[in-house]
Structure 1
Amino acid sequence: MTSYMDIDKLKQMKNELTKFMLVYKFALEEMMTKINILEQEFHHTHDYNPIEHVNSRIKSPESIFNKINRKNYPFSLPAIQNTIKDIAGIRITCSFVSDIYKIAAMISGQADIEVIDTKDYIKNPKGNGYRSLHLIIKIPVFMSDRVEKVFVEIQIRTIAMDFWASLEHKIYYKYDKEIPDRLIRELKDAANSATELDKKMENLHNEISGIKALENSKEELTELHINNDTFPLPADLLRFLSEKMI
């Protein structure tokens, strides 16, 4: 039979766990606000936005406790806070590999963010073909009575990498982590194909960007801007000016 003392203890544990999880929720909200600001800045002031999609999640208490048992970590909230660094997670999907490093640099350069660890699975893919850039950061969360510095894991990858990782994850759990050798080989081949696709798409992007930059330069050379008015320069005048400059 459960005593009043046991019930009070359970209530206390539940309240402590709720407070513990709330800090990670607030950390995610802080980071999502930062990423949203970057998205809006690129939307309004640049021709190109490197961020395609953003997803966030918090590990469930069950997942946290499973990881504690699997890793043989101490069973206490302070120990969990110090050892498990992916309770709060954000995944940023972009179009091109170069975007990944741009986004990582923008996040890492913010004054209140401390980068704890970087794992580059793009330059050094995992054995199964997995590719992504992982950042472990700490971000301050301002509570009513204290400031908590909270770990957040950020994964940044291309659309092709994300599609592959999603498929691999489904296969991994469908076969209860025992994937047949044939499927392992096919997944590795698919990862290589995704890598080649990323390279081709980036080359096309760079070529199109180069053509666009050249066209913009031509427009600037053939137009005269005075205040808010634009005046096209006659071809004869441009030819005359170019001859005088030679």
Structure 2
Amino acid sequence: MTAADARTDQEIGQFLLHYKFGLDEMLTKINILREELAFRGTGSPIEHVSSRLKSLDSLQAKALRHGVPLETEAIAAAITDIAGIRIVCSFISDAYHVLDMLTTQPDVTVRTIKDYIANPKPNGYRSLHAIVEIPVFLSDTARTVPVELQIRTVAQDFWASVEHKIYYKYDKAVPGELIDELSAAARVAHELDARMAELHRTVHG
């Protein structure tokens, strides 16, 4: 490794640290909501939460694949999924409610929202996606960091997990019959969400 490569790695490593702090800030917000709603006795709409931060190697590989220079400003402008949080809810209405609670906080700025629940992808994928910006206060400055949120139901998450494993196994060259099965399963998952929501309304009024 040359001295220039080492400097690049150090700069991108520091850059990634800012994204880690942004991830921590958003996770704190989510945990506060979960605890507050649980304390109220109404039950939390959030079933579970997971997060991920791209590694230095993964980020550099993606930048190279997309022809993005290995410079922090260029990476920040081109790659929006460096830090991500997945929130899994029981019901579709909960997913929208959680998105609203998070994106209306005064220190959260919404960059984009994509509603793949109302407008699913052609393969049947359903989820709410948002890129939000959160301020991070460092020792000598403040940075605004984007974090990707994916908010979905248990059924949608299960389908997406299976779909990801299938595409990974076949290196994206999935046989047509499996694609058809995945599309059919996506419809079944959505029907299950609708039926469970109706049961929930019946029980709770």
Measured against the shorter chain, the TM-score band is over 0.9
> Which residue of the partner structure matches residue 93 of structure 1?
88
Q: Which amino acid aligns with 1:206?
A: R
Q: Does structure 1 conserve the Cα–Cα contact (< 8 Å) formed by 2:8 and 2:70?
A: no
Give the Å deviation of 1:65. 2.5
Which of 193, 197, 203 is the aligned partner of 1:202?
197
The aligned runs of 1:136-215 (5 Å cut-off) are 136-210=131-205
Give the Å deviation of 1:76. 1.3
> Which residue of the partner structure matches residue 48 of structure 1?
43
Displaced runs of 4 or more, over 6 A: none
* Stretches of structure 2 lacking an aligned partner (at least 5 in a row): none
The aligned runs of 1:1-246 (5 Å cut-off) are 6-7=2-3, 9-210=4-205
Larger Rg: 1
1 CA distance for matches of 2:137 and 2:78?
A: 21
The Cα offsets for residues 106-152 of structure 1, whole Å up to 9 and x where unpaired, read as: 00110000000001100110011100000000000101111110110
2 CA distance for matches of 1:97 and 1:80?
A: 33
Give SS of 1:125's match.
coil
Identity percentage of aligned residues: 53
Give SS of 1:126's match.
coil
Q: How many residue pairs get matched?
A: 205
Give the Å deviation of 1:43. 0.5
- RMSD of aligned Cα (Å): 1.3
Q: Which amino acid aligns with 1:58?
A: L
The Cα offsets for residues 137-177 of structure 1, whole Å up to 9 and x where unpaired, read as: 00001011111101100000000000000000000010010
The Cα offsets for residues 188-220 of structure 1, whole Å up to 9 and x where unpaired, read as: 00000000000000000011111xxxxxxxxxx
2 CA distance for matches of 1:145 and 1:197?
A: 51
Q: Does structure 1 conserve the Cα–Cα contact (< 8 Å) formed by 2:54 and 2:82?
A: yes
* Stretches of structure 1 lacking an aligned partner (at least 5 in a row): 211-246
Higher relative contact order (CA 8 A, sep 6+): 2
2 CA distance for matches of 1:143 and 1:82?
A: 21
Q: Does structure 1 conserve the Cα–Cα contact (< 8 Å) formed by 2:80 and 2:131?
A: yes
Give the Å deviation of 1:83. 1.7
1 CA distance for matches of 2:200 and 2:178?
A: 32
Give the Å deviation of 1:10. 4.1
The Cα offsets for residues 38-86 of structure 1, whole Å up to 9 and x where unpaired, read as: 0000010142210000000001223222322333233311110122111
Give SS of 2:51's match.
strand
